[in-house]
Chain A
Amino acid sequence: MSWLMISVLIAGAYGFKVLGVFGLAGHRTGRVAGRMAELTALIPAALFAALIVVQTLGSDQSISIDARLGGLLVSVVAVSRRAPFVVVVVAAMAATATLRVVAG
């Protein structure tokens, strides 16, 4: 990853934040603003779900069922039992590492 790309990421990420604090905070009405807000509000749900899928099942350009899926299931159980964030993350890591040892 080049410094140019990192600079673009820095500028882009900060640009969105500034847009929200200075732009959207003062202009929340209008049809276009309303439609954009609806679309962007759903993006975390769609992208987080896709990230979970890609990081759990993706292996280059193929689907792979492996120890990561066990970790994911443990994290879902932990979250459903309202476990603290740290516990969710560490439990999933431990489950995945253990499954790899067991599977040899």
Chain B
Amino acid sequence: MALTSHRSEGFVLAVAVGIVGITFGVLADAAGLSLAKVVAMSALVFTGASQFAAVSVIDGGGSGAAAVGSAMLLAARNALYGPVVARGMPRSTAGRLLGAHFVIDETTAMSSVQDTSDDAGDAFWWTGLWLWSFWAVGSVGGSLIGSVLGEPETWGLDAAFPAAFVALIVPHLRSSPGRFAALGGAGLAIVAIPLTPAGVPLLVAATAVVPVSILATRATANGTKP
């Protein structure tokens, strides 16, 4: 992939993510977070799904433990991206400590499709820096205009987050275990919504991966395609 191509693709992706950032800012504002807290979350937590999960649990009246629990479950997958982006990472410890901050869905996706290690690193850093900038700016903008906008529902902003995840879940549905995990997670969430406090349906939904993983392993061991 040409040098300029992946840089411009990273930029376009970052602009779209900036719109989702506005939504995060509006929702965080509605959940009672100050501008300083919004900036701290977007600049330093910097993993969108976890931020949305934490804020929506708080906004829904959930406990702090449930908010942090859901957010951490969603953040755990970033650990698995480390090996994927490793080829484009700097060799120095300081460089990798800095790079680690930018290991998220989008940078991993952009880095993993490059042909060479050099391009993988270049795509990783450019996508990461564009995303980080737009995510922060979008969040600040959303937090500031939140009170002017009034109810985010009027503008359909509450539809932006599920829509973004419809797009982001697609790569995870390419395998059968992925599709079963998604079905199981959705089903468990529907059952858990009326029965448990805000935030807990997500924790319940995560348990769907255990039987799916075991069945997938058995199917592989039996020689059938999972």
A residues touching B (Cβ–Cβ < 8 Å)? 1-3, 5-6, 8-10, 12-14, 16-25, 28, 35, 37-58, 60-63, 67-68, 71-72, 74-76, 78-79, 84-86, 88-98, 100
Contact = CB atoms under 8 A, between A and B. Distances in A.
Tell me what chain B mostly uses at the interface: helix, strand, loop, or mixed: helix
A43 B156 contact: no
Contacts of B100: 14, 17-18, 20-22
A43 B170 contact: no
A71 B182 contact: no
Given A9-B54, A25-B83, A49-B205, A89 B163 contact: yes
Interface residues of B, number: 103
A21 B159 contact: no
Nearest to B204: A50
A89 B159 CA distance: 8
B162 A51 contact: yes
Given A18-B100, A40-B76, A89-B20, 4 more contacts: A20-B79, A40-B80, A53-B190, A89-B163
B201 interface: yes
Tell me what chain A mostly uses at the interface: helix, strand, loop, or mixed: helix
A16 B76 contact: yes
Contact of A95 (B154, B159, B190): B159
Contacts of B20: 89
A96 B86 contact: no
Given A3-B37, A17-B82, A9 B162 contact: no
Nearest to B96: A21
Given A9-B45, A40-B79, A89 B209 contact: no
A67 B157 CA distance: 12
A71 B78 contact: no
B71 A45 contact: no
Given A1-B32, A9-B50, A16-B78, A86 B189 contact: no
A42 B193 contact: no
A46 B45 contact: no
A80 to B, nearest CB: 9
A49 B158 contact: no
B129 interface: no
A28 B83 contact: yes
Given A71-B156, A72-B163, A93-B155, A45 B173 contact: yes
A41 B170 CA distance: 14
B148 to A, nearest CB: 16
B25 to A, nearest CB: 14
B58 interface: yes
A56 B158 CA distance: 9
A38 to B, nearest CB: 5
Given A13-B75, A96-B159, A46 B205 contact: yes
